[in-house]
Amino acid sequence: MTDKPLDVLCVGHASYDLVFSVPHHPGADEKLVADDLLGCGGGPAANAAVTVAKLGGKAGFCGYLGNDVYGDSHLRELQEHGVDTQLVVRGTSPTPLSTVLVKPNGQRALINYKGQTSALPANAINFDDLAAKVLLFDGHEPHISLRFLNQLTHPIPSVLDAGSLHDGTLALMDKVEYLVCSEKFALQYADDEHNALSKLATIAPVVVVTLGERGLIWQRDQERGSLGAPPVVAIDTTGAGD
């Protein structure tokens, strides 16, 4: 790794996104012509790494990209944004691919394809010489994430971006200091976001539940609060939660 510590190391999912701008989401047997097309890197952890870099921080991404045209494009894009990619693993399994259909009001429909691509094994990455000030996980690489957390010799602030409830987020949610979860995750975990906040606060020191245009709610120990979202005109919500 580099001599200077990373400000944030983002561990998890990278996919390549094909974003189609459409007048409306198609119905059964309907054929549409897209108004525009954008091809770019995506995935929660990869998006977070690029965001940190664009904000002036030193970011690194740790995850998988296939030895294919989508993996080549995504890796090049990460590097062009200044993201450290020394911990990217390449392989013969395909790069995950997402097709995103975005309506004029910013609402989207998304299809993700991973094929036979699976989470990296715990020994896929050597973290021995890594220095980072903050760790961010998205739950999509649970084996290397758990190994990394278990071998830490001193406390480092750790964040889980929990978009939905699955094996990876379940494995990490009680191992991190900051559990930041979506409204979808909260409703999957409990019957409403406030009950979810209370329950999650018993397993993580700081919990945040993001609520889209309604802002967010948070709890730390017995202290609770909320934060409103600034009003915006949505263009495309893809990646907004990352």
pLDDT digits (tens, 9 = 90+) for 99-137: 999 999 888 899 999 888 999 999 999 888 888 999 999
Question: Is residue 151 predicted with pLDDT exceeding 50?
Answer: yes
Cβ neighbours for 3, distance < 8 A, ≥ 6 positions apart: none
Q: What is the pTM of this model?
A: 0.90
Contact 85/61 with Cβ under 8 angstroms? yes
3 pLDDT higher than 70: no
Q: Could you tell me which residues come within 8 angstroms of residue 158 by beta carbon, excluding any fewer than 6 positions away?
A: 134, 135, 136, 137, 149, 175, 176, 177, 178
Question: What is the model's pLDDT at position 100?
Answer: 93
If you average pLDDT over residues 187-195, what whole number do you get? 93
pLDDT at 28 over 50: yes
**pLDDT over 70 at 144, yes or no:** yes
Q: What is the pLDDT of residue 162?
A: 96
Q: Is 35 left (phi over 0), alpha (psi -120 to 50) or beta?
A: alpha
69-80 and 44-54 are packed helices; what angle lies between their axes, rounded to 10 degrees?
A: 30
Q: Which residue has the higher pLDDT, 241 or 170?
A: 170
Over 80: is that where the pLDDT of 2 sits? Answer: no
| Whether 218 contacts 206, CB under 8 Å | yes
Mean pLDDT is lowest, of 32-46, 98-112, 145-159, 226-240, for 226-240
Q: What is the pLDDT of residue 107?
A: 87
Q: Share the mean pLDDT of the chain.
A: 93
pLDDT of res. 1: 47
Q: Residue 46 has what pLDDT? A: 97
* CA dist., res. 79 & res. 85, Å (int): 7
Give me the mean pLDDT over the 141-152 stretch. Answer: 93
